[in-house]
């Protein structure tokens, strides 16, 4: 069992008491309990010099040594670089140069993210020896905040293929989802406190749900993608993955913001996302899909969703059943056309140069080759459909503040009796609206697999997502559960 405590974040008085117990437990038990500290807990201990970045980093590396062979979360562990960065952070803090709540916090990044001097393979043999000469913007921003890069997390090659070649900590025989599965696994297994993910077709939210962690797909243009190997320039999103809602908000505070090196980022004011936490949901209007839209989901996912709605009603929120846009199903197909066509553009030079380097049965190669064969008229038709879909989404979201659905149609690896009509995932890649996955319970049959919620809002309204997610998290303890490794 880790040393995190729900009461730490519930109020300042309770938080102080919990911090005292955390510090005492850490000093008594040694580094073995430090790996499940939240960012907020570890940050307070580091700020008050009751825990050093070096101690925390060593505890994380020890945890990786303990469980990595079981879960396979990492492509690369940058052990020497991490320890050196931790020493630097420790020296800075000792000189009174504390940078903020991410200073000294271990983090990892998906292996599509450029990392200066460290391999960035995108999980493919094609880039097995590629070492960037600069950091992706999100990596640079985390380092500027004082965070300690531990390593690069696993993914299916070039983020294509759905499931990550890692093992779900809750059942090592099952998938962690994808494509940001390595990041989700590392968090659930206590190998990291923070990680980044990429989301083109649900690739942050999917593994976050299956692994019982928190994953935010921020608004399109809020987080820079500069230095991140792409799938689709009009659908790709980058976002933070953590174990708690508060930690996620702390991380987005660092990642969000205009980047002149990414022409798709938007120059908008960036709030302190933690300010919305604790405001509750009384009077908040929650849009939910009508029952028939989820009646083919796994029974435990439906149960977790409805139990969560009962929590929100108890807290004073108003539920509004809504019909989905008329173009939604067509847009799912249109999303695939856009995705593979834009992927073909990125992969064109690789396909022309040495396509065999992708390896046997490589999905990135096959999808890019198919995308290259799609007539331009079909790509343009999908983009026109996307414009109509955006208009319908704008009208839909006028009737509520947030939209909540089950996180996934089924727990990890569980088959469905019927093909579901809609999983409410790719729609938010197509419109670019922010959407976040949060833990919402565990399955009964089979026993012990995570289920989750998805919470979405209008563009650049991440604050209300954090507010609504935190209210639910404060009433439950799902996020405190740990897999038996």
Q: Are 134 and 151 in contact (CB under 8 A)?
A: no
pLDDT of amino acid 418: 79
CA distance linking residue 29 with residue 96, whole number of Å: 28
Over range 214-233, report the average pLDDT: 98
Active-site annotation holds for 120: no
Over range 53-60, report the average pLDDT: 98
pLDDT of amino acid 285: 98
Position 106 pLDDT exceeds 70 = yes
CA distance linking residue 218 with residue 216, whole number of Å: 6
Active-site annotation holds for 110: yes
pLDDT of amino acid 17: 35
Active-site annotation holds for 124: no
Give the residue among 217, 224, 242, 252 at the shortest CA–CA distance from 430. 217
pLDDT of amino acid 286: 98
> 166, 179, 224, 234: which is the annotated catalytic residue?
179
Give the residues across from 319 on adjacent strands.
286
pLDDT of amino acid 417: 80
**pTM for the model:** 0.93
Position 28 pLDDT exceeds 50 = no
Q: DSSP of 340-397, one letter per residue?
A: HHHHHHHHHHHHHH-GGGG-TT-HHHHHHHHHHHS-HHHHHHHHHHHHHHHHHHHHHG
pLDDT (tens digit per residue) in 454-482: 999 999 999 999 999 999 999 999 999 99
pLDDT of amino acid 419: 85
Q: What share of the chain is helix, strand, coil (3-state, %, to 5)?
A: 45, 15, 40
The percent of residues in the chain predicted with pLDDT above 70, rounded, is 93
CA distance linking residue 194 with residue 37, whole number of Å: 11
pLDDT (tens digit per residue) in 10-19: 333 333 333 3
Q: What is the mean pLDDT of the chain?
A: 93
Q: Would you state the structure tokens that stand for residue 482, as one six-digit string?
A: 């740990």
- 3-class SS letters over 177-221: CCCCHHHHHHHHCCCCCEEEEEECCCCCHHHHHHHCCEEEECCCC
Over range 99-121, report the average pLDDT: 98
User: Which one is predicted more confidently, 21 or 398?
Assistant: 398
Provide the edge-to-edge strand list for the sheet that holds 148-153: 74-77, 148-153, 106-110, 194-199, 237-242, 214-217, 435-442, 450-456, 402-406, 285-289, 318-322
User: Which one is predicted more confidently, 317 or 26?
Assistant: 317
3-state secondary structure at position 454: strand
Position 22 pLDDT exceeds 60 = no
> 4, 38, 52, 110: which is the annotated catalytic residue?
110
pLDDT (tens digit per residue) in 268-301: 999 999 999 999 999 999 999 999 999 999 999 9
- Any idea which residue has 């569980």 for tokens? 414
> 203, 224, 234, 443: which is the annotated catalytic residue?
203
Angle subtended at Cα 366 by Cα 360 and Cα 372, rounded to the nearest 5 degrees: 145
Position 2 pLDDT exceeds 60 = no
Give the residue among 127, 149, 130, 128 at the shortest CA–CA distance from 138. 149
pLDDT (tens digit per residue) in 159-211: 997 799 999 999 999 999 999 999 999 999 999 999 999 999 999 999 999 99
Q: State how far Cα 351 lies from the chain centre.
A: 30
Helices (H), 48-162: 53-71, 79-94, 137-144
pLDDT (tens digit per residue) in 341-380: 999 999 999 999 989 999 987 999 999 999 999 999 999 9
Over range 105-110, report the average pLDDT: 98
Q: How many residues does the chain have?
A: 485
């Amino acid at each position: 069992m880790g040393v995190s405590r729900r009461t730490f974040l519930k109020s300042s008085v309770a938080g102080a008491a919990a911090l005292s117990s955390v510090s005492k437990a850490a000093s008594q038990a040694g580094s073995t309990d430090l790996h499940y500290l939240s960012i907020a807990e570890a940050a307070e201990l580091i700020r008050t010099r009751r825990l050093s970045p070096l101690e925390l980093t060593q505890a994380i590396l020890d945890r990786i040594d303990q469980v990595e062979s079981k879960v396979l979360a990492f492509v690369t562990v940058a052990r020497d670089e991490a320890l050196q960065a931790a020493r630097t952070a420790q020296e800075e803090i000792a000189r009174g140069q504390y940078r903020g709540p991410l200073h000294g916090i271990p983090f990892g990044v998906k292996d599509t993210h450029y990392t200066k001097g460290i391999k960035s393979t995108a999980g493919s043999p094609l880039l097995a020896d590629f070492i960037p000469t600069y950091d992706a913007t999100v990596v640079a921003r985390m380092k500027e905040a004082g965070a300690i890069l531990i390593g690069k997390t696993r993914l299916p090659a070039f983020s294509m293929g759905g499931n990550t070649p890692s093992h779900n900590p809750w059942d090592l025989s099952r998938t962690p989802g994808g494509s940001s599965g390595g990041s989700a696994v590392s968090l659930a297994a206590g190998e990291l406190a923070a990680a980044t993910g990429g989301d083109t077709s649900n690739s942050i939210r999917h593994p976050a749900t299956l692994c019982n962690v928190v994953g935010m797909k921020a608004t399109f243009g809020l987080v820079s993608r500069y230095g991140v190997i792409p799938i689709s320039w009009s659908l790709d999103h980058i976002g933070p993955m953590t174990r708690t809602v508060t930690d996620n908000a702390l991380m987005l505070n660092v990642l969000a913001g205009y980047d002149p090196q990414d022409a798709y980022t938007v120059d908008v004011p960036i709030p302190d996302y933690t300010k919305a936490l604790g405001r509750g949901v009384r009077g908040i209007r929650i849009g939910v899909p009508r029952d028939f839209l989820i009646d083919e989901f796994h029974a435990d996912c439906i149960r977790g969703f409805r139990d969560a709605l009962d929590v929100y009603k108890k807290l004073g929120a108003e539920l509004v059943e809504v019909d989905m846009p008329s173009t939604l199903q067509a847009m799912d197909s249109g999303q695939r056309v856009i995705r593979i066509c834009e992927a073909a553009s990125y992969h064109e030079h690789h396909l022309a140069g040495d396509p065999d380097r992708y390896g046997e049965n490589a999905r990135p190669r096959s999808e890019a080759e198919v995308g290259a064969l799609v007539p331009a008229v079909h790509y343009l038709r999908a983009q026109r459909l996307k414009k109509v879909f955006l208009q319908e989404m704008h009208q839909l979201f006028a009737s509520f503040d947030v939209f909540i659905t089950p996180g996934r149609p089924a727990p990890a690896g569980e088959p469905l009796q019927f093909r579901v009509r809609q999983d409410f995932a790719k729609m938010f890649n197509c419109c670019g609206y922010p959407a976040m996955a949060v833990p919402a319970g565990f399955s009964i049959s089979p026993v012990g697999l995570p289920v989750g919620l998805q919470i979405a809002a209008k563009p650049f309204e991440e604050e209300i997502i954090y507010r609504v997610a935190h209210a639910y998290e404060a009433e439950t303890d799902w996020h405190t559960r740990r897999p038996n490794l």
